[in-house]
Structures are given as C-alpha cells and as structure tokens.
Chain A
Amino acid sequence: MLEFINFYLIPGLVLGSIYALGAIGVSMLFGILRFAHFAHGDLMTLGAYLALTVVLALGWSPMMALPIAIAGTAAVAVGIDWAFYRPFRSSPTIVLVIASFGIALMVRAAVQLFWGVEVTPYQTGIQRPIILFDALRVAERHFVIVGGTIFLVGVMHYFLAYTRMGKAMRAMSDDANLARVTGINTKKIIVWTWIMGAGMAAAAGVFLGMDTQLNPNMGWDLLLPIFAAAILGGLGRPYGAIAGGMVIGFMEELSSYPWIGTEPLLEPSYKTAVAFAVMVLMLIVRPSGLFRGRVF
C-alpha cells in the first residue's frame, strides 16, 4: 500500500500537475484561436531554461525563478503571436498549425543555441525526501510542484471567473463573432490568452525540470500527453484540461503497477502509449471530451 502511494500515486499526481498546466494553455488557445498549438511543448522548454539562467546567475531556487520564467515565456509568446500567427488569422486553420510546427522547431533550436544540448539539472546533489508519518516519502520538490500547481490553477480560476478580461475570454471562446459584435476587444483577449497559456506552460516546464532534468526536447516530448489531456477534458475548456491532465498523469503511472500478479501491468517504457491510447479512444468515442469542448 505504502509502496503504491510512494511510487505510483504521488508520481502520478506530480506528472498530472505538469500535464494539467501544459494542457490549460493548449485548451485555451484552441478555444480562442481555433488551432492546435504545436509549439506549446517548446514554450515549456523555454520556460524551464529561462528559470535555469536565473538559477545559475543569481543562485536562486527554481521556485524563486518561476515568476521570471513565466513572465519571460509569456512575453516571448505574445511576440511570436504578433510576428508569426497574427498575419494568418484569417487563413485556414492548417496554416496556423503548420506555422506553430515551424515555431516549435525555431524555439527548440534557439534553446539549443543559447543553452546547449546537454542534459542539465537545476540543482546537483541528492535531495532527501521528507518522511511523513514515518512511512510516506515525499520529495520536497513534489510538494513544491503540486502546491505550485494548485496555486496557479487558483490564479487561473480567479482570472476566468472574476475578472473582466477572463470573462471576456470565456465569452470569446464561446462565440468569437458575438464577442466582436458585443464590442469586446478581441485583440486584447488574444494577448491575454497567450499570457495565461504560455505562463502556465512555463510553469509546467520549470516543474518538469525540477522533477527530472532539463533537455531541449523535454517539452516537445510532452506534447502528446498534453494534447491527450486537452482533448480528454474538451478543447476550449481549461477546467477540463486540468482534469484531463490529472487523469492522464495518473493513468500513465498506474499503468505499470502490478495490478495482476507481480509483474507490471504495462512495461514502464510503454507509459507514453497510455496517453496516445486515451487520445485516440476519446476522439473516436467522444471527440468533444468530458466537458463538452469544441470539436475540430
């Protein structure tokens, strides 16, 4: 039982948190701009590396560097949108999808150029886990990651439910034409969507770097589970994306638990296939996701 909690449930929660933060942006961006943003994983990578620079330069902890990473990534995303996506707003969706694919390659190449291609941790040395009730072993970083995620989700909820911009974002996600006719400044909403989406992605990247290590492909490798989470929750539904991220995170970790007999149910190396299976199944059975999201 303890082994189950320590080695499956807690890692599932951590992974789910990271997926959730990534999927929020994918889902929001789909709701507002109606395209699948393939560069989202690389925004995560960028956020992780921006934090690394702060960690190395100022000797801060990754958590203290987080706000800077969020702000920096959000600024870059707004700039990318202005320069590369804005000209294609009235083009067919596929143009934007391909453009985002190009941006993904560009961002990754820039990361490799500035920070190198080696695998780097934020901190070296062994991190001792915190032992709770003599039995639960929880690494400090896991507390920080889950706590940070809860805080950021709270920020997102406050923004969407109580602020003028957040409500207008939900309105535009509901019906962009009606939003325009209502006099809502849709350009401003788009900027805010990038700030929120890229900010959350940066946090996901930093958390992923804290949990494992940094490498230029870290975000790209997570694109599949993040899209699976966004689709599972329903595209355009940020709350659904959180649920979707958690479900995928848990399913991936729990898939290798020896549910039957003593062997893992699924070899750990097949973990990523779980997300893929969920995504395919969801698209066939219920493409609008659990929370009645947009269908392509």
Chain B
Amino acid sequence: MSASLLQATGMFGGYGGLDILNGVDLAVDAGEIVVIVGPNGAGKSTAMKAVFGLLHVREGRVSLGGEDITNKPPEQLVPRGMAYVPQESNVFPNLTVHENLEMGAFVRRDDFSGVLEQMYDLFPPLKDKRKQPAGELSGGQRQMVAIGRALMVEPKLLLLDEPTAGLSPLFMQEIFERIIAVNDTGVGILMVEQNARQALEIAHKGYVLAVGRNRFTDTGANLLANREVAESFLGGTGEG
C-alpha cells in the first residue's frame, strides 16, 4: 500500500465478543493532523485504542512506517515512535510536573534533558509549576502535562483522545494552538475530537465514523463544507 506513517486497514474488534469496530480504515501521513469525528458510540476512541494495542484487533491490520504492529502492546509501540494521551486520568497526579515529563521518557536510555527544556518552551505555564504535583494543576495545564509527557519520546505519531474534553473555550483554544505548534515540529497527529468543527478546521484530513465504519474521508475543509456531514455530524447546517 501507500507509504503512510500509520496505516490501519479493515479493523474489526471490540470488548467481550461484541464488535464495536466493523472494518475501520485509518491512515496518517508523516507530519499530518488527522481528526476522527462522529457521533457518540461511533467507535472513535475505540479505533484509536485498537491502533495503540489497547484493544484486541480481531481482524484487520495496523502498520507503522511499513512495519506490522497489529496487536502489539503499548510498551513496544512507544519505543517505535508512537505516543498516546488518554482522555481521562492522563497525568500521574502525585508526581510533580517534572517527574511526569521524565516518566514520558522512561523508554529512553539517552540524555533527554534537551527535550525536557523544549517541553517547557512549548508549554510555558508549566515552567513555574515543575515542582508541583500534576494533580494540583488546572484542567488545561494538566492537559499540557499529558501532551508533554507523550512528546518526551519525540514520537513520529501522537495519538490524542479528546484533548479538549471538559475544558473551557479559552483553554480549548490554547490546546488547539499547542497541537498545531507540535505538528509544526513534524509530529504526525491522530486525534479524536468531540469539538468536531474546531478540530476539522486545523485538520489536514478528517474521518467521519458511524457505527464502527468509515462514513466520510476527506480534507478537513471539504468535510466542513460538506452539507451532509454538517447536518448529520457537526450539529448544524452549512458553515457555522
């Protein structure tokens, strides 16, 4: 197939014998922002978990940089350049901000002090809080710690599960800006988002999933302009 960074084809799988994914295809090229949107229960987060080895893929294939990674556990995927930020409980609350970032680099045996400094440059609000337990931070700052933690391995592909869930519009905007900044450094991003409209605006490519299947695949702009997508999945008609 193509030389995509991440290539998932025909993924079937679910929890306890019941399939949630009914043949999902996903592809992320190097340096792309790809967004998965869709109604609740469409299998968005599940598809991402399947890619990251957190859900058994019963049928289908996942590859990273041409290498088969189907059903490989996270501890083997992180060293291969893939990092994942869960939607909830995505920081170690009793560890300091600094320790959280260090943990992100657990799989690295080289000197990563330069990357640590980069994280503080990327997320300036964390600089003053580096000695503070991550559990004491605000939602937006916690999200920064979570993304920073994942970036510590300098991944080729970053998976984000609803990074703006539960954040105020102000913080949401800030997180989206950071995501673009991360992407500007060449990191490919696959993101599930509830705030579909804003996410598609920054996406190079978008997938619309419904009942565990691909419904639409197009550029972010085209999906936003697509009347059917807007009516059925973006909660409004036409451009908002």
Contacts and interface: CB of A to CB of B under 8 A. Distances in A.
Contacts of B54: 181
A197 B116 CA distance: 32
Contacts of B19: none
B89 A177 contact: yes
Contacts of A180: 73-75
Interface in B152-190: 153
Contacts of A182: 74, 78, 103-104, 106, 149-150
A277 to B, nearest CB: 29
Contacts of A119: none
Q: Please indicate which of the listed interface residues A167, A171, A178, A183 has the most CB atoms of chain B within 10 Å of its own CB.
A: A183
A178 B89 contact: yes
Contact of A170 (B78, B94, B106, B150): B94
A174 B95 contact: yes
A163 to B, nearest CB: 11
Contacts of B216: none
Contact of B92 (A164, A174, A185): A174
Contacts of B77: 183
A75 interface: no
B107 interface: yes
Interface of A is mostly: helix
Contacts of A175: 89, 92-93
Interface in B91-107: 91-95, 99, 102-104, 106-107
Contacts of A170: 92, 94-95, 99
Contacts, number: 62
Given A167-B102, A168-B106, A183 B95 contact: no
B84 interface: yes
Given A180-B75, A183-B79, A184-B75, A174 B94 contact: yes
B52 interface: yes
B103 A167 contact: yes
Nearest to B146: A178
Contact of B95 (A167, A185, A186): A167
A167 B99 CA distance: 7
Contacts of A185: 75, 106
B75 A171 contact: no
Contacts of A171: 92, 95, 99, 103
A210 B215 CA distance: 73
A88 B104 CA distance: 28
A178 B86 contact: yes
Contact of A174 (B86, B93, B102, B149): B93
Interface string A170-205: 110111011111111110000000000000000000
Interface in B56-105: 73-75, 77-79, 84, 86, 89-95, 99, 102-104
B106 A164 contact: yes
A171 to B, nearest CB: 5
Contacts of B75: 180, 183-186
Q: Please indicate which of the listed interface residues A171, A178, A180, A182 has the most CB atoms of chain B within 10 Å of its own CB.
A: A182
A45 B150 CA distance: 44
Contacts of A177: 86, 89
A178 B90 contact: yes
A167 B106 CA distance: 10
Nearest to B85: A181
9 contacts: A167-B103, A168-B103, A171-B99, A174-B93, A181-B86, A182-B149, A183-B75, A183-B79, A183-B153
Interface of B: 52, 54, 73-75, 77-79, 84, 86, 89-95, 99, 102-104, 106-107, 149-150, 153
Given A168-B103, A171-B92, A171-B95, 5 more contacts: A167-B99, A167-B102, A174-B95, A182-B106, A183-B79
